[in-house]
Structure 1
Amino acid sequence: MLSDSSMERSTISMEMRNLSMDEFEDSISLSEYAFQYTLTKEQKDKKRELFRPEQFWGCFEEGKLQAKLTILPFQIYLHNQKFSMGGIAGVATWPENRRKGHVAKLLKHALQHMRAEGQAVSFLHPFSIPFYRKFGWEVFTDTLTYKLQMHQLPPKTSVPGRIVRGTADINLLSSLYEAFAECYNGTLVRTTEWWKHSVLKDQAHTAVYYAEDGEPQGYILYELKDKELVCSEFVFLHEQARSALWTYISNHDARIEEVTLTMVPGDDRLPFMLPDPRIHQERFPYFMARIVDVEAFLRSYPLHLITGEGWTLHISDEAAPWNDGVWNIQSNADTGIIVQKVEEAVKGSSPDQLHLDIGALTALLLGYVKPAELVRSGRLQGDETALQRLEASIPVRPPMLMDFF
């Protein structure tokens, strides 16, 4: 028999829908409470200007907002291609609604929406990695932070060319960023609006290196805080540009005592290049990702498959049932990569079938882990020959993300 409270809840009307402009204040109130901050009137007015109701989804009970999230439409670089990505942000619920399933329902609804919008992959910054793993998201990139005392900086070098400080030309910065970002998986394709309202919103200092021929070859975004220079982006197209920018940083030695580099790519090897590599380093699991639509994602993903070759994947995905099941992936001379779901297949029915969950597949294809690492952790099982074919078919490129949302 249902208790009175259970019977009462069973009659409550629940609705998931986009927020309206009239519900902006409700959304802000929930965010302020959940993330423990208070906006000034000026900050609130700015957010109202940027408020896009179609990007905000809420769970309502009896017409009142109980939980919400935002789906931001992005593109990312992935193996020299651009993929549509749904960025999940601002996930929040009132404390009295915790463990009632509101956020779970919103996340599953978000997956359906992103699939319909053609966003084959999704990113988010987790408050709890274990929580989002339950819904298929997995860590796909780390971020490094370096802290160097002035005597630990790379030696000053005489590099031809010049440094121009205070450049505000977004087109110039964007062109350098794009050339750098395309070398990684998962970097954002930045729009002019994103540069204005996210990258440069805090009015950080800029410095651009121009080579001897007058071509820009690198830039840094940085702040000066007391005796510290904090660099949030260090972009260079070759080692000459990196040396020139380091020399520029070193020329601040009259007013700073240490340099901090944040958002450093996980594959960076600066310490190896230093006279004394024992600098303070911190590696931190940063963003999570998940493939939203396996079929759409794999059709566009640049697999290295010989014509007629392929593999069979048994994918577990409880939150997105359209992905859950057995998939045949093969290369065809006429049509390219063929991705086909085999509804009648049974787990273990094929000796060359590989078994893994959607999060493991995402981390694998974005370059965060290799098949052998997944095998050791128990998240990938299959025949050794099939595992070797899988590894040989995945192009090598490290993941990286310099942005936050």
Structure 2
Amino acid sequence: MSEIRRLRREELRDSLDLSMYAFQYELPEEELVERLATMNPEETWGYFIDGKMASKLTILDLTTWVNGKKLKMGGIAGVASWPEYRRQGMVGQLLSKALEVMKENGQTLSYLHPFSFAFYRKYGWELAMTFKKIEIQTSQLPKLGAAEGRIIRTAPSAAALNPIYDAYAARFNGPITRSEEWWETRLLKKKGHMAVYLNAAGEPKGYVHYWIENQECKIHQLVYLDQDAKRGLWKFIGDHDSMFDKLIMQAPPDEDLAFEMDDPRIKQELVSFFSARIVDVEGLLGQLQLRHTGLPQEASLRLHVTDGQAPWNHGTFELRLNAPEGSAVVVKTADEPAGGSGAAEDGLACDIRTLSVLLLGAKSAGELHRIGRLQGDERSVELLAVVLPRRTCYLPDFF
């Protein structure tokens, strides 16, 4: 007999054993006990066969920034199966269950870090988050000029750093909001030093979390709210030039640090990172902050969406875009999307993967239309380009 259900507390050790096996790591006994004490069995769903856990996944209750607003998001993590149960469709059934659970929880979006992009694309998740991996030799360190403020080295503190991070994260689509527990257990446990930049008025405007070892400087986090803070933090980093030969960091995909450097021939790699999926089309469209400037008085748009995993997303949606305060009125008008040329003549048609990256701003309507992922007339494409703000998609965390 098989069943899908939430874990019980006494099954957490089995879940952790499966994770350690599947992801090839071991925890010392002390850390294992600590991890079990903080785990919430309500977050993890298991596929059980005759009472034995065969597969499992965890749904993290998170919040993400999109178009300057905080939205509820379900973070999928720890997806694993014992080898004798793999390739039998269990993970697919768990993902379908997860979509139902997230919809019930009001989590209109879901992110995950895929072991295989192709695998999760089958279930509606699409590449949305990338980052730029940068390597800089000491002789190339940027010299951006003098800053007006000063640096203070300080003990890592979530209370001190989170307001800076939150202001920074709100500029992107995709970052999560960080709880104090998230800071303490996932970020500040990393070996490293912390420095905060204060502007001329004494206001914190940036920070850097870094570690130097074996002639290598690893930047865990570099956050700045303005160019003055950027100059001050890079001056501080550069003052360590006698301590390392190479610096390694991650940055948003649109970071153009090389343009500001005397020697721009630095190593830069664009890394495909996280996938995203819309859990609830109607719910998300009703929450998104849209641009209404320049719209005709009775602007509306039809979206024909295909979703083989979440039937509530499958169908035709009408967006009435003349609602106040940048929101939209969304109505599902049909349970089956118009197909073929019918969709092209009446609104826009796409699958859930395409709509996910479109509404997050990872790809524009014009880009998706050009490569055939978004079908429809030019007027509708142009209308979407007007109402959807473009922001860089970036997730500086991992789960």
Q: How big is each residue's C-alpha offset from its partner over 1:2-61, in whole Å with a ceiling of 9 and x where there is no partner?
A: xxxxxxxxxxx1111111111112111111110111111011011111110000110001
Q: Which consecutive unaligned segments of at least 5 residues does structure 1 have?
A: 1-12
The answer to whether the 8 A contact 2:206-2:225 is kept is yes
The answer to whether the 8 A contact 1:167-1:208 is kept is no
Matched, 1:30 2:18: yes
The worse-fitting range, judged by mean Cα deviation, of 104-113 and 347-356 is 347-356
The worse-fitting range, judged by mean Cα deviation, of 352-361 and 61-70 is 352-361
Matched, 1:273 2:253: no
The worse-fitting range, judged by mean Cα deviation, of 306-315 and 188-197 is 306-315
Letter in 2 for 1:356: C
Matched, 1:43 2:25: no
- Structure 1 pair 91–84 and aligned structure 2 pair: CA distance change class (3 A): same
Matched, 1:289 2:273: no
Equivalence for 1:238 = 226
The worse-fitting range, judged by mean Cα deviation, of 336-345 and 289-298 is 336-345
Residue 233 of structure 1 and its aligned partner are, at CA, apart by 1.1
Determine helix, strand or coil for the equivalent of 1:326.
strand
* Match 2:318 to one of 325, 328, 345: 328
Equivalence for 2:382 = 388
Residue 164 of structure 1 and its aligned partner are, at CA, apart by 1.3
Determine helix, strand or coil for the equivalent of 1:217.
strand
Equivalence for 1:89 = 77
- Whole-Å Cα distance in 2 between the matches of residues 71 and 298 of structure 1? 22
Structure 2 matches for 1:6-405, cutoff 5 A? 13-155=1-143, 157-262=145-250, 264-305=251-292, 306=295, 307-333=297-323, 337-343=328-334, 346-347=338-339, 348-349=341-342, 351-405=345-399
Letter in 1 for 2:272: P
Residue 334 of structure 1 and its aligned partner are, at CA, apart by 6.8
Determine helix, strand or coil for the equivalent of 1:39.
coil
The answer to whether the 8 A contact 1:314-1:354 is kept is yes
The answer to whether the 8 A contact 1:162-1:209 is kept is yes
Determine helix, strand or coil for the equivalent of 1:342.
strand
The answer to whether the 8 A contact 2:286-2:329 is kept is yes
Equivalence for 1:6 = none
Equivalence for 1:10 = none
- Whole-Å Cα distance in 1 between the matches of residues 75 and 179 of structure 2? 15
Residue 167 of structure 1 and its aligned partner are, at CA, apart by 3.0
The answer to whether the 8 A contact 1:156-1:250 is kept is no
Structure 2 length normalisation: TM-score? 0.95
The answer to whether the 8 A contact 2:369-2:381 is kept is no
Q: How many residue pairs align between the two structures?
A: 392
- Whole-Å Cα distance in 2 between the matches of residues 217 and 76 of structure 1? 22
Determine helix, strand or coil for the equivalent of 1:372.
helix
Determine helix, strand or coil for the equivalent of 1:221.
strand
- Structure 1 pair 56–213 and aligned structure 2 pair: CA distance change class (3 A): same
- Whole-Å Cα distance in 2 between the matches of residues 328 and 139 of structure 1? 26
The answer to whether the 8 A contact 2:212-2:243 is kept is no
Letter in 2 for 1:314: H
Q: Which consecutive unaligned segments of at least 5 residues does structure 2 have?
A: none
Q: How big is each residue's C-alpha offset from its partner over 1:194-223, in whole Å with a ceiling of 9 and x where there is no partner?
A: 111111122421111112221111101111
Q: How big is each residue's C-alpha offset from its partner over 1:252-289, in whole Å with a ceiling of 9 and x where there is no partner?
A: 12211111112x10111101111111100111111110
The answer to whether the 8 A contact 1:123-1:287 is kept is yes
Determine helix, strand or coil for the equivalent of 1:197.
helix
- Whole-Å Cα distance in 1 between the matches of residues 265 and 35 of structure 2? 43
Identity %: 41
- Whole-Å Cα distance in 2 between the matches of residues 298 and 98 of structure 1? 36
CA RMSD of aligned residues (A): 1.5
The answer to whether the 8 A contact 1:72-1:89 is kept is yes
- Whole-Å Cα distance in 1 between the matches of residues 369 and 29 of structure 2? 53
The answer to whether the 8 A contact 2:68-2:289 is kept is no
Q: How big is each residue's C-alpha offset from its partner over 1:231-253, in whole Å with a ceiling of 9 and x where there is no partner?
A: 02110111111111111111112
The answer to whether the 8 A contact 2:323-2:329 is kept is no
- Whole-Å Cα distance in 2 between the matches of residues 337 and 227 of structure 1? 53
The answer to whether the 8 A contact 1:230-1:259 is kept is yes
- Whole-Å Cα distance in 2 between the matches of residues 16 and 36 of structure 1? 25
Determine helix, strand or coil for the equivalent of 1:100.
coil
Residue 166 of structure 1 and its aligned partner are, at CA, apart by 3.0
- Whole-Å Cα distance in 2 between the matches of residues 44 and 199 of structure 1? 18
Letter in 2 for 1:311: L
- Whole-Å Cα distance in 1 between the matches of residues 187 and 201 of structure 2? 28
Structure 1 length normalisation: TM-score? 0.94
- Whole-Å Cα distance in 2 between the matches of residues 193 and 81 of structure 1? 22
Letter in 1 for 2:309: A
Determine helix, strand or coil for the equivalent of 1:298.
helix
Residue 157 of structure 1 and its aligned partner are, at CA, apart by 3.6
